[in-house]
Amino acid sequence: MKLIPLPAFQDNYLWLLHDGRRALVVDPGDASPVLAALDEGGLQLEAILVTHHHPDHVGGVDALRDATGARVFGPARERIPEPLQRLAEGDAIEVLGLRFEVLDVPGHTAGHIAYHCPDFEGAPLLFCGDTLFSGGCGRLFEGTAAQMHDSLGKLAALPGNTRVCCTHEYTLGNLKFATAVEPGNSRLIHYRQQCEQRRSRGEPTLPSTIALEREVNPFLRTRVPAVTQAAHAYNAADERDEVAVFAALRQWKNEFR
């Protein structure tokens, strides 16, 4: 199996997974790079997995379905181009011989879902859309801080070796903010240096892992004293209230330059 982040637009990744013959793609906002990769690899697209309804995640769905006959899977409670199989937490699908369990992760959008494969070549795999980014999380366009905090907690509870396939190359900007929140975090500083080197070579910073995100991502560290103190210093957030700390961090990140 090969896992490939196909660049699209300014900073999107369309995740393509294939076994040399059959493929699936996640959140194809643009059909062109997917069709090019299928043609180059002689691959048949069997499935399209959608996490949420934003155009940069669904814009290529119709063209890919029409061109390949691929099945489309997506969230039960969002506006996704029909026909598709609608999914919610507790559902599971099998594609390319892999089992994907569905998680409800509202916050960025109201019906956002994620796909968790418990065993992809010896380690779990997570397609989390715009809920969790390396070093960050999605903006709250439709959901609440409490919803997003709960969703991130659900993802953070996955096994540490879970590979995290986010859909944007936001890592350097996120880590700049994370360093402002927690400047004494040596693991964060080292990871930021690694990512800067990767980007200087034109390489993706992804996938990350859940274990790494627990160490460097301030939005998963709302119980850590250095993070709670920084949130309090920013807007007097109650350090004992994790949702208040999260909300302060998210607002701070929205305004951070």
User: Which positions are catalytic?
Assistant: 52, 54, 56-57, 108, 130, 168
Helix (H, G, I), strand (E, B) or coil at 173: helix
Query: Which helix H or strand E contains 187, and what residues bound it?
Result: helix 186-200
The DSSP call for residue 145 is H
Confirm if 126 and 155 have CB atoms less than 8 A apart. yes
Within the chain, what is the greatest distance between any pair of CA atoms? 57
The number of residues in the chain equals 257
Q: How far is CA 233 from the centre of its chain?
A: 29
Vertex 65 angle, CA 64 and 67, to 5°: 60
Query: Which helix H or strand E contains 215, and what residues bound it?
Result: helix 210-216
Name the one residue in this structure whose structure tokens are 């944007």.
Answer: 168
